[in-house]
Structure 1
């Protein structure tokens, strides 16, 4: 019984011998590599057509802006010409008023030997 009083026990006899359970290594889940998606011919044609349309719209937009700017310039030139003609007409009207003054007409008539005859004068009212 001396062996029974011994605190140290033979663990091998107490525990049944089992092989340690080794957990299998988890193999990484293999995900298939994404395939490079190939552009179909239809998609390529659509991309080319869309880019051509966008380019054509850009060119049209720029040309329309140029046409509008040209038209504005022509309108400004026409307005300037109209103003010049209006100023010239005003100047000519002023000159007519200066040349048709009564005393000037009377001096010219006197220089040519004409006399004032009240019987031949008519008054016109507007």
Structure 2
């Protein structure tokens, strides 16, 4: 019987050793659909980033133009205020009267009309 037990044991070991091996599935790379989706996503990201950068460039140029225009406006306002002060100084009654006398004009009180603003 011992011999029979040994034979059974050897057969069981052979059966376990001879058991069919499972196929090892090798993982493939990305499928063509996944590659296309990846390329599309990368293209969309690149196009979006280029669009954002170009928009920021346009915004920068517009802001620069606005600042230049505001500076020109301030310069023109200062010039206008200086000229209005000069007009008010030159249109004083005493100065006009002196200029008229220098040119040989005389004041005739009967021809003077008072004009209100």
Query: Shorter-chain TM-score: which interval?
Result: 0.7 to 0.9
For residue 93 of structure 1, what is the aligned residue in structure 2? 84
For residue 32 of structure 2, what is the aligned residue in structure 1? 41
Deviation at 1:118, TM superposition (A): 1.4
- Tell me which structure has the larger Cα radius of gyration: 1
1:53 to 32, 40, 44: 44
User: Would you identify which runs of 4 or more consecutive aligned residues in structure 1 move more than 4 Å?
Assistant: 30-34
Higher helix share: 2
The correspondence of residues 1-126 of structure 1 with structure 2, limited to 5 A, is: 33=24, 35-126=26-117
Partners of 2:24 and 2:85 lie apart in 1 by: 94
Number of aligned residues: 106
**Aligned alpha-carbon RMSD (Å):** 2.5
Structure 1 unaligned residues grouped into runs of 5+: 1-17
Deviation at 1:38, TM superposition (A): 2.6
Structure 2 unaligned residues grouped into runs of 5+: none
For residue 10 of structure 1, what is the aligned residue in structure 2? none
Partners of 1:106 and 1:119 lie apart in 2 by: 16
